[in-house]
Every structure is written in structure tokens, then in C-alpha cells.
Structure 1
């Protein structure tokens, strides 16, 4: 496929007959999981699409570990599990009802559902004690935001986008911000009217 569009999802969509909405995080994740599952099942049609490594020297050898499935089986199982969870909950992890103080100070609280976020993205009360990992937030603007969570205040540390989010959606006290997980470490925020 090198000379025929590459190995990207758009090219795989065409060659494998996948059906999904490209550039939608949940759809892209589902499509990638389908590709893994197709490859895992050893579908003969894939032999014509992917180059198969036949040179044993290129394949690193690892000693077998008793009762542990191969890495690709674990990855396929985790992808399928993640898709099942996402389908059953639609990814909604919580809602934060806005107060006038939230609007005035450009933030909203995550305290009601902070446990739904990975612990690696929750840091201390100042930038010096930021979390080791970050998350990505799609707020409807032209650029996504990368931030961690201030664990003491229970808000997103980077608040530079929140004023624009409130203005763009004409947020009012009593409205709610809904936080949806779209992929691991990726979230979308939406305004829900009171």
C-alpha cells in the first residue's frame, strides 16, 4: 500500500471496505480496532494489502510467558473493551452546573466526577506540581487544549480557553458543562442549557 495511499485510516477504509466517519475520535478508534481484529483473525484478504515480514531475523524473539496471551491479543481485547464501554455510556463522564462565580472566573468544577479521569492527569495546586500526563480538550474552538487537572481546585489547570467557550455558547448561570470522553486522555466539553 506504500504507493497506493499508505497505511492511514482513510486508505485502509477504501481498501478494506470499512465504514466509519473519518476524523471522529470514537469512529477512528472503532475503525482501528476493526483493522486490528481483522489482522488478528488472519483474514486472507489482508495478505494482499499488507506486506508480511517473513525474515525471522527481523522479528525479535522473546521467551514465552506461561498463561499470558500475546501482546496483539491483549491490544485487540483492550480495544474491544474500550469500544464496548464507550458504546454503553456514550463517553459522558459528568456534568458541572455553572455558577456566576464560574462565569466570572473562567472555570468550572470537576469535583463531582474527578475520579473518572486518569490519576496521571491530576496534579497539585500550582504549575510546579503539574501532573506527569496531560489530556486534550475539544471545546469547539479552532484549536484543542492540552492541560492537566489542578487536583486541589478540581478544575482544568489551563483556563485560557474557558472564557471563549462560555462566550461562544452564551453560557449562563444554571447551565451545565457536559464532559465526554472521546478517546483515552481526550475529552470534549459541551454546554447544556438549564
Structure 2
């Protein structure tokens, strides 16, 4: 049995424009899509209270105060004197200077290390501009890294301050012995023997 023939479509007129295919669009790379998304997010205006977020970080330090603040009862405060032993007129001055530097740097190193931990703990809970928490810990770590570097520098200052007086004594011990202010020489102990 033969199938009936369908009527053919009429051919388009010669003067009618043939439908053009849309130009082939190059697909954007993931990096370009991410950049466009960030631009879009940065231009977005948040109108609702839920999406409008403000973050305030307050790290309070007690600076100043009374002249003897932070010193034990009865101990003189160094606020008006300046750094002890800064005159370098005797070995006691040099010892006081190095000890003062060591104590101050040690306290600052501990404070800066704690500040770095606190800063990192606060910043790791702040989402990015698009509200995502992805990468918040890494961003917080990158920021706190600089405070940690300051803490390690203070630690190095404390270490070198301790080495200062030891080097002074080692280099000038013979001169100090002449003046009578050197460390007393230790008499060698007799070796212990069983009889």
C-alpha cells in the first residue's frame, strides 16, 4: 500500500531574509564567571535588615593609668624615670637595662600571641561579602599571621636582651675583676670519692 504524499512547503521567497543562526558564543571560564559574580555581589544593595551586616571588632588595652600601675605594691613605677640603666655607667646599669628589656619584651610577646589568637577567633566567624563562610578560617589566618610575626619578634627581643648581659660579662669580665665588680670565681670542688 502506498502512503499518501504530503504537500510540500512553499520555498521561501527570494527577497525574504533567511533566518540567521545566532552567533556562537564562547563559554566563559570558571574564573571569569567567579569575577562576574563578585562584581554583581559588590554592586548589590542590601535593603533588608537581615542581610545588612556590620561587624565591629574591639580589642581594648589598658594603656596609661597611674604611674605605678602594673607594679607590685611598694615597688616604684618606671613611668617617670624611663628605661632603668639607660645611662650605662656601671655593670649594674647594663644588667638593669637588659633585664628591663627582657621582661618588657617577654610580656609583650605573650600579649601579642594572645591577641593573634583572639583576632583569628573573631575573624573566622565573619562571612565573605556574598554571605559564604567558605574560606573564612584561611582569611582569618592570613590576617592574624602578621600579629604572630610581631609576637615572634618580641620573643626574639627578649632572647637577645638576655644574651646582652651574658655577652657583656663574658667580654668585660677581666676588666670588671680589676674594679672588683666581677662575678666571684668559683673554687673547684674536690671530686667525690668512695673510701
Shorter-chain TM-score tier:
under 0.3
Which protein is richer in helix relative to its size? 2
Bigger Rg, structure 1 or 2: 2
So what's the TM-score if we normalise by structure 1?
0.26
TM-score of the two chains, using structure 2 as the length reference: 0.26
Q: Which has the higher contact order (CA 8 A, sep 6+)?
A: 1
Relative to its length, the structure with more strand (as a share) is: 1
